[in-house]
Every structure is written in C-alpha cells, then in structure tokens.
Amino acid sequence: MPHPRDVIVLGLGGMGSAAAYHLAARGHRVLGLERFGPAHHRGSSHGGSRIVRQSYFEDPAYVPLLLRSYELFAKLEHDTGRSIATLCGGVMVGRPESRTVSGSLRSARQWDLPHEMLDAAEVRRRFPTLTPADDEVALYEARAGFVRPESTVAAHLQLAQQAGAELRFEEPVTRWEVLPGGRGVRVHTTDDVYSAGHLVVCPGAWAPGLLAGLGAHFTVERQVMYWFRPRGGSAPFAPERHPVYVWEDAEGVQIYGFPAIEGPDGGAKTAFFRKGSPCDPETVERTVTEAESAAMAAQLRTRLPQLPGSLRKAVTCMYTTTPDEHFVLARHPLHPEAVTVACGFSGHGFKFVPVVGEIVADLALNGTTEHPIALFDPRRDALRAPHRRLATPEGETTT
C-alpha cells in the first residue's frame, strides 16, 4: 500500500527547512515536523547573523559546497524578495601559523579564490576598528559577509509551502521506526503517528537522542552571542566600513564578529568560537551571567577597543559538535533505504544551509549526490567515541 507522503522531514530549522523546500520543489509529497514554531530561537538557527566565507580554514574540501551555497542564497533572495545575504568583506586574523590564517590561505590558494594578505599595519589602516598586534596578519576576502538566519529559514519555509509541503509546528517527534523490509518509516509525535516512504532527520541539538542508533558521538554545547554598543557610536562599525572577522589569539582561542547591522542602538555582535559548555537542549541555561559578558569584553578591549562600550544583550544558542568538527550528511548506514541524516554541523554549518537542502533532497530521492560529501560519512572512525546520552533521551526504534 502506498504511503500518504513521500518524505517526512524531522526538524525545520536551517537544514530541515531547506530540505523540505528542495524536496517539495521536485514535486514530492512532503510533511515537515518541528517541535517549536517557525524560525524559532530555541536551537541553532537564530541570532540575526551568521558569517559566510569561502577561504575556509576548516578544510579545502568545503569550498565547492560554499560556492554552490552562495549561488543558492542569491536564488533564495530572488525567489522570495527577502534580504538574506550581505557581502561586506571579512578578515581572518591571527599569527601566520594559526589555523585561522594558514587554513584560510590554503583553501584560497587551492581553489584560486580572490583574497589579499594584509600585515597588521595595513589591517589597522583599512579597518580602524581593528587593532591587531604587530606579529599578526590577516587574510582579507571581499566576498565574505553575513546571512540572516531567521530570514533564511522563513524563506525556505515559505517556498516549501508554496511548493505544496505540509508543515506542522509545535509538534515534537518522540520516536521513529523503519518498517519491516525497509518499506517506509513511521514517525511518532506528541499529537499523532505519520508514515512515509522516506525520513529525513535534521534534529539539530536533539541529535544525540533522535539518532542514538547512528553510533556517532555528538556533544551539544551552550554558546553565547553578545551585542555591544561601541563607544562613540556605531558609525565606524557600519557594514560598509567594518568587516566580519574570525580572530585567533596565540593560545588558539577564536572570537568572531559582525558589523553593527541592527541600527544605531543595536550594537555589534560578537562571540567566542568553540568555547562553550556541554548542555542538554531541554534544560540549557538561557541566562547569561555578568562574568561571561565580562570575559567577552576583556577579549575585545585589546582587539576592538571601541566595541565593548556597553552590553546591549546576550543570547544563547547551541552547537552540536562531532569529535572531528565535520558534519554528518548521508543515508543512515543502518537504514540506507529509508532514512537520510543531516546533523553534527559543529558550529559552522549555517553557511551551507541551502546546499545541504539540495544534497539532502538528492540523497533522499536518489541515494546519492554529485556534491562532494565523502568528508561527512557517518561511518568514519573519528565519530566512534563514547555516546553521551541526554537526561531525557528520545529514542529510535527499528521493527
């Protein structure tokens, strides 16, 4: 008996909203399920801005995906009329041997990406808001910038619905199961039970519970984003004058930040990169302490001395990190005929949202994709570590 739907998409944040759109746009019957509301602030796809960059220090293998993602962000803007991407330029700052600088340079050279190498004096001349030390350098990329996560998610949800997808919000998934012989899936929620020919799991910080059978180790981390009002006003931090940045110090600590994009009183956003604490997504502490804000301000005083004038706000989000900080993006190795997974984006996934949606649609419908995703194989040895269970796990069941 045919299923009433072709594909169920579990999770409608950044990746899931894009997957629902690409699947529906190809003419398939799609049901999307989300535990919160549309474009919510309870997971990882919020905060007003996310950096986009192509000279990728994490690994040159990401660059082809980034190039396609840039094309799809532009198409998303065109198709919806929403403001999503701003390419204001960006600098990767640190000592020449730092991962941030040397890794960015390696990707830029391998893929022949336009870039400039700037010494500290040139950085200070071009961008007076930045004060690198004399032994620091920067890779400048004119096509770096930022995208707006809430607008991106809302745009994909809009297009998914226009293409015929059924999207259900405030309906948490409690478990899922593959039917005998791999002939489809059944998904249980707090409200109902649904069946489909295929399941796409984009669980964000709920991956440790909903993908327990994957055998991968995920660490969910509480992160904090800060908005500071610059001393003397926000004008020097406007997007036409101040770049996005990732900045690594001598101890390997990275911070990142943005122009002031929320008006004269909105402040400029900044945060630590990979300096979070393990958490449970159901009970994560949403209150940011004065000590946390003071630690961020202390980092800024030596690098962007105008910025930590006063704290406007601080907001938490979550990373879902794999041991090697690379994604998990593939057919489920235990259920390749029925389940596709997209998770473990390790704090650097949002810039890939549109291309991940395209890849997930390829995998769900065809079992393969032309995009290079070998790096994200869930069977890789780096993922085999003791599994950390959540306090209130949500399991998967195979029948």
Residue range 198-246, pLDDT digits in tens: 999 999 999 999 999 998 999 999 999 999 999 999 999 999 999 999 9
* 3-state SS assignment for residue 344: coil
The letter for the amino acid at 311 is L
Report whether pLDDT(389) > 70: no
More confident residue, 265 or 12: 12
Mean pLDDT of the chain: 94
Per-residue model confidence (pLDDT) at position 384: 80
pLDDT tens figures, 177-204 = 999 988 899 999 999 999 999 999 999 9
What span, in angstroms and rounded, lies between the C-alpha atoms of 44 and 152? Answer: 13
pLDDT band of 385, cuts 50, 70, 90? low
What span, in angstroms and rounded, lies between the C-alpha atoms of 361 and 22? Answer: 6
pLDDT tens figures, 293-336 = 999 999 999 999 999 989 999 999 999 999 999 999 999 999 99
- Positive or negative, the Cα torsion across 123, 128, 130, 132? positive
Per-residue model confidence (pLDDT) at position 263: 81
Report whether pLDDT(392) > 50: no
Average pLDDT over residues 129-143: 98
What span, in angstroms and rounded, lies between the C-alpha atoms of 93 and 124? Answer: 12
What span, in angstroms and rounded, lies between the C-alpha atoms of 128 and 120? Answer: 11
Per-residue model confidence (pLDDT) at position 3: 80
Report whether pLDDT(26) > 90: yes
What span, in angstroms and rounded, lies between the C-alpha atoms of 354 and 155? Answer: 11
Report whether pLDDT(111) > 60: yes
Per-residue model confidence (pLDDT) at position 264: 76
Average pLDDT over residues 336-352: 97
What span, in angstroms and rounded, lies between the C-alpha atoms of 41 and 333? Answer: 31
Question: In the chain, pLDDT over 90 holds for what percent of residues?
Answer: 91
Report whether pLDDT(395) > 60: no
Interaxial angle between packed helices 353-366 and 14-25, expressed in degrees from 0 to 180 and rounded to the nearest 10: 50
What span, in angstroms and rounded, lies between the C-alpha atoms of 270 and 42? Answer: 19
Average pLDDT over residues 29-41: 97
pLDDT tens figures, 51-79 = 999 999 999 999 999 999 999 999 999 99
Per the DSSP assignment, residues forming a β-bridge with 139 are 92, 117
Report whether pLDDT(390) > 50: no
Contact status, residue 379 vs residue 333, Cβ threshold 8 Å: yes
pLDDT tens figures, 246-280 = 999 999 999 999 999 988 788 999 999 988 899 99
Report whether pLDDT(11) > 50: yes
Domains of the chain: 5-45+150-218+324-383 (3.50.50.60), 87-144+219-321 (3.30.9.10)
* 3-state SS assignment for residue 306: coil
Cα separations (Å) of 249 from 79, 96, 162?
Answer: 41, 11, 47
- Give Cβ neighbours of residue 77 (< 8 Å, ≥ 6 apart): 83, 84, 85, 155
